[in-house]
Each structure stands twice: as C-alpha cells, then as structure tokens.
Amino acid sequence: MSTPFTTGPFKPEAMFAGAAAGFYELLKAFGPQGAAAPDLNSLSRALGAQLEQWLKSSQAPGPSFWGSPPLAAGAGFVPTTATGSAPDARATWDLLMRLAQLQTQLSAQWGEIASGCAQRFAARAGALGAGALTPESALKLYELWVDCAEEAYAERVRSEEFASLQGQLANTTAELLLLQRRQAEQLARAFGLPTREEIEGLERQLRELREELEESSGARRAPRTQPRPKPRPKPHPKPRPRAAPARRAARRRGRRPRA
C-alpha cells in the first residue's frame, strides 16, 4: 500500500498500484460476507485499523513541508562531542526528544481520524444494503469509505490542536536542522572545506553584482512607450548615474527608503 504525504519521483503506476491495493483490501473485507449482512461495527473497526496503519506508515512526521526529506534528514544525524560541542550535542538530543513527543501526539491524531472514519462508515454503510458485490456496489462502498475518511480527517486537521501541533513540528524540525548544520559546518571548517555560510556570502555578492549589472544595462535601454524604432548603433551609451550609497544599501536589504 502506498504511504500518504510522501512524494518521490513521478510514478503514476506506483500510485495507482497502491490505491488499487487499498481498494482490493476494502473489497476483501466485504467479499467473504457474500449476501449475508456484514457485522458493520467489527468490519469498520478493522478498516479503521487499516486506515490508521496507512496514516502512520508515512515516513514524514507531518503532512506538510516540515516533514520533507531535506528538513527531516538531519533527524538521523545524532551528534556526539566528537562532532560538536557538548552543549550542542545536548541541545540536539533535547530537540530529538521533543520531535519524538510531537510525533507521538501526531500519531494519536491519526488514531482519532481512523476511529472517526470507522464510526461514520458503520453508521452509513448499512444504508447501502447487503448483497453480492458488483462493480457498481463496490464503487459506492468505496466512495462512502473515502467520504467518511475525508470528513473525519477534515474535522481533525482543522482543529486548533492539530494546527498548533503542525506549527511545533515545523519549528522543531527546522531548529534541529539548523543546529545540525552548525555542527556540520564546524567539521567542514576543521577540514578546510567551504561552509554554507561562506557560500551564502558569495551568493549574496553575486546577486548584488548581477543586480548592479542589470541596473546599469537597464539604464542604457530607455523604456519604450512608442513602437520599437529600427535599431541604430549606439556607440557610446551614457550610463545612468549610480544611486546614492544609502539608497543602494537600502535596496540590497530589499527595502527602499520612503521618499
């Protein structure tokens, strides 16, 4: 069965196979009952357990970007005093523990969703009537199951509790990643390798140079409001005067001083 909330390379056949397997499992749960009326309560509980497993099988700690592989990748890197300072190692352990607690809370939310879905399904499936499964009745059953799952999911994930949990997961994962990055940078420095900080400094300089270059070349191209004239050679384009230092510095910060 496919796992929720994780996407890798584009493989529609894999997604399809996962969904088809889920559909098959659902039908199998109903199939052996044949024409006899199924015990909807126990069936729904079993299906709910399957759903919970599906939700928990996600590799990510949350359904959104904080669980993304790059952010969560650091979770496997546990520093020791050999790779960083003792306070950093302690801080990392604290964050890992915090993350584990949050994931436990998230897991409880998945359980609530699964049980909410099972309850809804048990209450409504009876209306579909018993009888042999046909492609049409199978689809109806499946659509009902999806409706129940989405309703239970929406109710839970729209709660303040869930939203707050997501925020905490995002922030804790980011803190962990940044702390581990700092430790990795210490190692890189020790080996004389360029660090992220240094590369970012170079990127900043490159961007500023690029902007200045574009500005100066933009100044040579007067904005056109009339139809484009035939190109004529411009032997000595006059560059626009450079902006005043304060204004230039403000632009680098992404803000222009108000006139």
Q: Does 245 bind another protein (CB under 8 A)?
A: no
Among the listed ranges 86-94, 95-103, 235-243, 251-259, the one in contact with another protein (CB under 8 A) is 251-259
Q: Which is nearer to another protein, 65 or 93 (CB)?
A: 65
Q: Does 226 bind another protein (CB under 8 A)?
A: yes
**Which residue in the set 89, 99, 122, 170 belongs to the binding site for another protein (CB under 8 A)?**
170
Report, in Å, the least distance between residue 45 CB and another protein.
18
- What's the per-residue H, E or C state across the chain? CCCCCCCCCCCHHHHHHHHHHHHHHHHHHHHHHCCCCCCHHHHHHHHHHHHHHHHHCCCCCCCCHHHCHHHHHHHHCCCCCCCCCHHHHHHHHHHHHHHHHHHHHHHHHHHHHHHHHHHHHHHHHHHHCCCCCCHHHHHHHHHHHHHHHHHHHHHHHCCHHHHHHHHHHHHHHHHHHHHHHHHHHHHHHHCCCCCHHHHHHHHHHHHHHHHHHHHHHHHHCCCCCCCCCCCCCCCCCCCCCCCCHHHHHHHHCCCCCCC
**Which residue in the set 102, 141, 177, 179 belongs to the binding site for another protein (CB under 8 A)?**
177
Report, in Å, the least distance between residue 128 CB and another protein.
15
Q: Which is nearer to another protein, 35 or 82 (CB)?
A: 35
**Which residue in the set 71, 95, 122, 184 belongs to the binding site for another protein (CB under 8 A)?**
71
Report, in Å, the least distance between residue 5 CB and another protein.
5
Report, in Å, the least distance between residue 186 CB and another protein.
17
Report, in Å, the least distance between residue 208 CB and another protein.
10
